[in-house]
Amino acid sequence: MSGGLAVFLVGFLLLYPSAPLFAEETAAVDEQRLVFGVLAHRGDDVARQRWTPFVEYLSEQIDGARFVLEPVDNDGLQAAVADQRFDLILTNSGSYVMLEQQHGISRIATMQPRQVGRDEDRFGAVVIARADRDDLVELDDLRGQRLSAVHPDAFGGWWMTWRELQAAGLDVESDLASVVFTGFPVGRGLDWVLQGEVDAATFRTGILEDLEARGDPRVEQVRVVGERAFPSFTYRASTRLYPEWPLAMRGDLDTGLAHAILLATLSLDAEHPASQAAGIGGWAAPRSYEDVHGLMYELGVGLYAPQPFDILVWLRDNILWLVSALAVVALLALLYVSRVHTRVRRSGRNLERSMDAIPDAVITLDARGGISYVNPAARELAGLTRDQVLGCSLDQLLDLRELGTGRPLLPADARGEALNQALGERSDARLVRRDGHELIVRIARTALDPVAGSSVRTLLVLTDVSEERRLVDRLVHEASHDGLTGLLNRRAFERELEIAMHAARDNRAVASLLLVDLDYFKDVNDRHGHRVGDELLRQVAHVLRQLTRGHDAVARIGGDEFAVIARDTNAEYGRILGQRICSALADRPLQVEARDVTIGASVGVVELGPDVPGVDEAFVAADRACYQAKDQGRGQVGVARKADIYPITGA
């Protein structure tokens, strides 16, 4: 194989590894030291204060592992990940996208904000100026002004604002007087504005609110330039919003250890001390970062930055060496030309064998979008022979559908730019095979430079990530559902209750909380044993599912206690639903292991509205109504009065 083709093949294999993200869990190893790298955008001290409790939490939760924290700045992060110094990485969205592409790290969770209902777990950037600068109102007013940012490669500290300035018609190189970078901590930009060293400064959202909460007087001395409002987003912003920071892991981290880290991370709620110290509301399943790709592509930065190599400068600096080298090459070429054709043919055969050996589906397309090559893995996915696939369009070869909607991913006979746009907007898709079996595949598309004698313009690699998606879905489900009944657990139910209460307080939708307490359940356990009791709880859960609607939330919140959020339901309709539940459980015995088991229930109802200040108050009011029902003879429904609803004070 020639040197050029060998380099191409090695690079190809590195860019498209065949090993899946999650493999079978391996046996636990002896305790090991794991480094958690954090981008310290507010300085090392703040990063240590925020994330040390989280690191200690992971060390406590995961046997055989000890985590240590290492704050790092923008310049040091790239080198540290390249050297595989970090096992876990927490960084901003733009930095993550580049590290994922260049070094194979993988996101496992996305940071959740503390505020309930915030816009899709996203953040943005804010531009500030001195409060007395009445001439700086919109971003367009920054023309001819001095602007400070955090770092040339800072996502929230520069790129977000750069994109908005460009959208406003400003060329940052010619229309701004200057752009200077403060570095970390980001608070330097605020000082420079107040000292008059710059006219405006930009940094990520939330900084102003944090300083204001600490009583920093500087916040009152500045104004926001180009302020934009977003529903349910509490921070002041000057730009559009992007996904929050992801938690990522090294590509070769042990899968068993990765599984344990993911479970421990998703189990954190907003009340845990580690979440409180970090200022977050917990963690969610990893979000899509396509918007970040769009920003980089539009600005030509990060993954889409132009190559800095200048051939003219290189030729000028190396002309003498180049002439000498060309003379030597010309002499060697005379000896080499007789063997060229044989080596080319041999290299081509070796390359094709290598592509055939790759377990992922590899497809190449010509300039018109026609298929020019498919490897055996791709033919197996399509269920066709080599001769049958050549000349087909991609939509004729593979039935690719959008996740969630099930709509065809590709328009019929998609060619050229239309095909590239359809594939470029998505990374994952559902593949329906000819035998009816469905897979989730990750599509990686690479545009290839034209080569003389070759019509190939696009390379597609499809990787089966079905098992990975099933694993993530299962872990997310386990973290939010009761293992016995399959209903929501108390933590997940409280999150749903907070959302319903916020909607009710904003007069967007009415809802009611029903607390269902089984009557005589202890007698069943004592008489028939816990196995019968567990099966009875499962049957009660089935009854509750049948009596409620698909958009209602049903949970098991205690041993024999259940709860329902009846959406679009006031207290009167909640009482009617409660009576249906009592009747369904008391009118006829339940069949459990070939025996009739009689059970009943008492229900407390509270309507969620402005009178209910919080989740705890809602539970207390419903619980009081339930006890009133029990006092009336069990099998009854009690509705909370306004007198039963009052704020809960104290710890």
For residue 578, CA distances in Å to 18, 581, 615 come to 54, 5, 20
CB 299 within 8 A of CB 160: no
* Amino acid in position 538: R
Task: Judge contact between 123 and 242, C-beta under 8 A.
Answer: yes
Helix, strand, coil % (nearest 5) of the chain? 45, 20, 35
CA angle 117, 122, 125 (to 5 degrees): 125
Asked, as a colleague might, if the bond just before 185 is cis with ω within 30 of 0, I would say yes
**110 in helix, strand or coil?**
strand
> β-strand 65-72 against 32-39: which pairing, if any?
parallel
Q: List the 88-90 sheet strands across, edge first.
A: 65-72, 32-39, 88-90, 246-249, 106-112, 282-284
Count, residues in the chain: 651
Contact (CB, 8 A) for 536 and 521: yes
560 is catalytic: yes
Between CA 200 and CA 221 the distance in angstroms is: 13
Cβ count within 10 A of residue 381? 22
Sign of CA dihedral 116, 119, 123, 129: negative
How far is the C-alpha of 184 from the C-alpha of 181, rounded, in Å? Answer: 9
Is the Cβ–Cβ distance between 158 and 151 less than 8 Å? yes
CA distance 95 to 164: 19
Any idea which residue has 């190559």 for tokens? 307
* CA end-to-end span of the chain: 73
DSSP per-residue codes, 454-490 = B-EEEEEEEEE-HHHHHHHHHHHHHHHB-TTT-SB-H
- Alpha-carbon gap, residue 231 to 502, rounded angstroms: 13
The whole-angstrom separation of Cα 58 and Cα 77 is 22
Catalytic residue (one of 482, 560, 623, 644)? 560
**DSSP element (H, E) containing 175:** none
Task: Tell me the three state secondary structure of residue 429.
Answer: strand
Cβ contacts of residue 311 below 8 Å, gap of 6+? none
Cα dihedral 418, 419, 421, 424 in deg (nearest 10) = 180
Give the DSSP letter string of 624-636. Answer: HHHHHHHHTTSS-
Q: Which candidate, 123, 124, 129, places its Cα nearest to that of 224?
A: 129
Count CB atoms within 10 A of the CB of residue 47. Answer: 22
CA-to-CA distance for 94 and 297, rounded, in angstroms?
12
> What SS3 string covers 336-382?
HHHHHHHHHHHHHHHHHHHHHHCCCEEEEEECCCEEEEECHHHHHHH
Q: What is the dihedral of CA 495, 500, 503, 506, to 10 degrees?
A: -100
Question: What whole-number distance in Å separates Cα of residue 398 and Cα of residue 412?
Answer: 12
Give the active site residues: 560
